Amino acid sequence: MTIMQSWKEGLGLLQPKNLRLLLLVTMKNTGDAYKLLLPYWVFMLIGKFLLYWILPYPLDPTVVPFMSGGSFSWMFGRFYDFIFLYIVCLACRPSLGRKTIRYFVDRMPDIIRVLIAQLFLGIIFLSCITLPIFLISRIVPSLSEIILKSAYFLTGNMLSPSLWIMINIFFLADANKIWQSVRNTMWFFVYNYPLILLTSIWCFGLLWLQYQLEAGIGSLVNYNSFILLLVSWIGYFIFWPFVVSLFANVYIKRAYEYADIYSA
């Protein structure tokens, strides 16, 4: 299959009939994920509160890392959030076995593989996209703003770290090989670029809504860190399972039906 054929077929998922089916399946999967994730979310929320008391700046969004003296705590707090995203991805991905606590515990060591894979993907992104954009903007300063804004629209949403992570976790859980998951993640974005671009813009609109709700509530409570933490994690529980379920269904449709592209 050529890339253009894949793009055309991928966009077919957004046709009204197919999109309706995709959203219905996503909503069902999201409901299942809520029931599955609730006890883990409560457990991690309690852990987050404990971190808030133990570490100086695990949450506060007003603190600038590496300038506050709390850079380690800030990074650890972000890693803690990443662990929850990893658990959400495991809950939403297809699996033949029951997703009991043993299922999640057995797969937690694989988070190291995900981090290594993300390092490779970050280097690829930096060398193939970020660096050329920077060089072009330096060579032609007058086009700098246009180039940067256009590049962000075309690649910023689609190639954001969270999207890399989600798709890579799905491939890594299926293949369990770091380099193969990195290669397949890149191929997946290449062969499904328009579909992922349009879907991600819509999904990040939902996450933007989450951010606006958090900011609005924060202003009402005078940015009380304790309340902000609770509101933030309620937002994680409401929005993340839907976004991850949607991309899990896109992954199933595009990766499983065209497995020959990713099996080499």
- CA dist., res. 173 & res. 189, Å (int): 18
Specify the pTM: 0.80
Which DSSP symbol is given to 141? G
What pLDDT is attached to residue 67? 42
Q: Give me the residue spans of the domains in the chain.
A: 9-262
pLDDT along the chain (264 residues), means of 10: 85 91 94 94 88 60 45 71 90 85 88 84 70 66 56 47 78 83 87 83 75 77 74 87 92 85 69
- CA dist., res. 166 & res. 113, Å (int): 13
Q: Are 18 and 12 in contact (CB under 8 A)?
A: yes
